[in-house]
Amino acid sequence: MKTILVTGGAGFIGANFIHYLFTKTEDIFIVNLDKLTYAGNPENLKDIEDNDNYKFIKGDICNQELIEYLFSEYDFDYLVNFAAESHVDRSIHNPNIFIETNVMGTATLLNVAKRFWIKDFSINRFLQVSTDEVYGTLPEDNKEIKFTENTPLQPHSPYSASKTSADCIVKSYYDTFGFPTLITRCSNNYGPYQFPEKLIPLIIHNALNDKPLPIYGDGKQVRDWLFVEDHCDAIWTVLNKGKIGEVYNIGGNNEIKNIEIVKQILDYLKKTHSLITYVKDRLGHDRRYAIDASKIKNELAWTPQYKFEDKITETIEWYLSNNNWVENVVSGEYLKWIKQNY
């Protein structure tokens, strides 16, 4: 049985990853460490909270004493680090918290794991979940150019700079100490449990309430969209089959302009396009992201299984069916609940 420390497991991708693991195998024990900030919600995992192979711990990855306690209490085989501040707008307004969590928190995890795993690195794995935003932006007029694992890192926001810094620290532990690191860099995720500050759930929520839909600039920024379950499958593949010290790009092969997604959601919900409200573009806004995922395909035989046109409909329906979850998150009611119960 593998014992896995999942950090940030109450967030969007982390919660989906834990759900995925329990459908994939029973031969695991998961410790979920999450600070439960605004984007981390234990309700995301309510259906498995009584599972004997699952343990939730409320805590901060910057808390070295807590991390040391967990490593002494549990004999972790793997660590998957999802814990991060992740919204670009918030990083523009307050970069410090991004540096603290994304950089210092990652360093704390590395230092403790290195000390506890020092006897035999070969049996352990430390997987850093990163983002394609570390690469910067791509030209709009040449669709053949995509991000590869060898693309120079050129972050343009405090968020992407903090993730780039964390990636470099993770890589340095492999280069310096032979520490068993893996890094994955994914494109834009979508699916259930995503906090409604990100594009797709925000548009769904605002449209349902006939609120204006704020679209940065001309809305023609291009993103590659990856269904979250595909992302989880890729992470599990890299964790088990990836070559130590390597970086793997994970993409969905779905390059779409933001404005096209907005219009698609409005059409599905039978809402007027007049809700679209163009606003001043975000500072340092990258125009195009596109992932070349040929490495993970050729070396680990992984490819995305889901088409955007199928899963965007399923995603919209999930938010329609879980409107209470959305309203509690948006209103902050679940944060009050966390304070009372954790």
As a residue count, the chain comes to: 342
Across the range 124-130, mean pLDDT stands at 98
d(CA 79, CA 114): 11
What CATH number corresponds to the domain at position 174? 3.40.50.720
pLDDT digits (tens, 9 = 90+) for 74-91: 999 999 999 999 888 889
pLDDT at residue 25, rounded to an integer: 87
Q: What are the Cα distances from residue 334, in Å, to 45, 147, 183, 341?
A: 14, 38, 32, 10
25 CB neighbour count, 10 Å cutoff: 12
**Least confident stretch, 70-74, 189-193, 194-198:** 194-198
d(CA 248, CA 125): 14
The CA-CA-CA angle for residues 72, 50, 334, to 5°, reads 95
d(CA 74, CA 76): 6
Q: What are the Cα distances from residue 339, in Å, to 30, 157, 238, 334, 336?
A: 24, 32, 36, 9, 5
pLDDT at residue 337, rounded to an integer: 63
- Conformational region of residue 36, where left means phi above 0, alpha means psi within -120 to 50, and beta covers everything else: left
239 in Cβ contact with 182 (< 8 Å): yes
* Burial (0-12, 13-18, 19+ Cβ within 10 Å), 159: buried
Q: Which residues are catalytic?
A: 132-133, 159
> Does position 282 have pLDDT exceeding 90, yes or no?
no
Show the tokens assigned to 82: 């999802």
pLDDT digits (tens, 9 = 90+) for 171-192: 999 999 999 999 999 999 999 9
d(CA 176, CA 156): 28
d(CA 261, CA 221): 11
What is the residue-wise DSSP string for 213-279? EEEETTS--EEEEEEHHHHHHHHHHHHHHPPTT-EEEE--S-EEEHHHHHHHHHHHTT--GGGEEEE
How many structural domains compose the chain? 1
Encode burial over 213-243: b for 16+ CB neighbours within 10 A, e otherwise. Answer: bebbeebebbbbbbbbbbbbbbbbbbbeebe
157 in Cβ contact with 88 (< 8 Å): yes
Q: Which residue has the higher pLDDT, 203 or 327?
A: 203
pLDDT digits (tens, 9 = 90+) for 309-332: 999 999 999 999 998 888 888 777
Domain that holds residue 15: 2-341
pLDDT band of 156, cuts 50, 70, 90 = very high
Residue 92 neighbours by CB under 8 Å, 6+ apart: 157, 158, 282, 283, 284
Average pLDDT, the chain: 94
DSSP at 48: G
pLDDT digits (tens, 9 = 90+) for 293-308: 999 999 999 999 999 9
pLDDT at residue 132, rounded to an integer: 96
Across the range 94-101, mean pLDDT stands at 94
